[in-house]
């Protein structure tokens, strides 16, 4: 560095006269080797930085993929749970319909006995009329249960 009235300037030893170079123990071969080593070190550092950037990109992509897979797994789990809940509701509906059918059949039988025994002048057909509707509903629930079971199997094996 050279300081003058005009400011500070940087002067390379290689640009100075030989006697000044000798006073500062300047060796052009060592300087050239140092320059080559500095360039090589810079190249290696650039290569390392490039590798680190690529690794960071790969890690980011892997994290994004893992996050997406987690979302997909959660969605699958939610779907399986929803189908399982739906199946449970259908099973409860089936049980309720079976109970109602049993009750209607019992009322029908009692009405028939009362009519045959002559305790009632007219045969009560309300329970008998209710049975086809209940049996139709039961059939619909059972078909829906079968469909939901298949859907549950598909959801669990995805």
Q: Please state, in angstroms and rounded to a whole number, the distance separating the CA atoms of residues 158 and 156.
A: 6
pLDDT tens, 116-151? Answer: 888 777 777 888 899 999 999 999 999 999 999 999
Give the containing element (helix H, strand E) for 118.
Answer: none
pLDDT tens, 3-38? Answer: 888 899 888 888 889 898 888 888 989 989 999 999
Q: What are phi and psi of 46, to 5 degrees?
A: -65, -40
Q: Which residue is listed with tokens 């290696």?
A: 44
Q: Please state, in angstroms and rounded to a whole number, the distance separating the CA atoms of residues 54 and 158.
A: 33
Percent of the chain, pLDDT > 90?
66
In DSSP terms, which residues pair with 9 in a beta bridge? 2
Entry pTM? 0.60
Q: Please state, in angstroms and rounded to a whole number, the distance separating the CA atoms of residues 60 and 72.
A: 18
pLDDT tens, 72-98? Answer: 999 999 999 999 999 999 999 999 999
């Amino acid at each position: 560095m050279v300081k003058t009235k005009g400011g500070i300037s940087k002067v390379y030893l290689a640009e100075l006269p030989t006697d000044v170079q000798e006073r500062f123990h300047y060796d052009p071969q060592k300087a050239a080797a140092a320059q080559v080593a500095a360039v090589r070190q810079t190249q290696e550092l650039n290569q390392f930085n490039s590798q680190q950037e690529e690794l960071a990109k790969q890690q980011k992509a892997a994290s994004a993929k893992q996050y997406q897979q987690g979302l997909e797994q959660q969605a699958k789990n939610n779907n399986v749970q929803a189908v399982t809940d739906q199946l449970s509701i259908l099973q409860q509906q089936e049980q309720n319909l079976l109970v109602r059918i049993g009750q209607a059949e019992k009322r029908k039988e009692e009405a028939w006995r009362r009519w045959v025994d002559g305790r009632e002048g007219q045969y009560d057909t309300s329970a008998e009329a209710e049975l086809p509707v209940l049996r139709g509903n039961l059939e619909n629930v059972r078909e829906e249960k079968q469909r939901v079971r298949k859907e549950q199997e598909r959801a669990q094996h995805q």
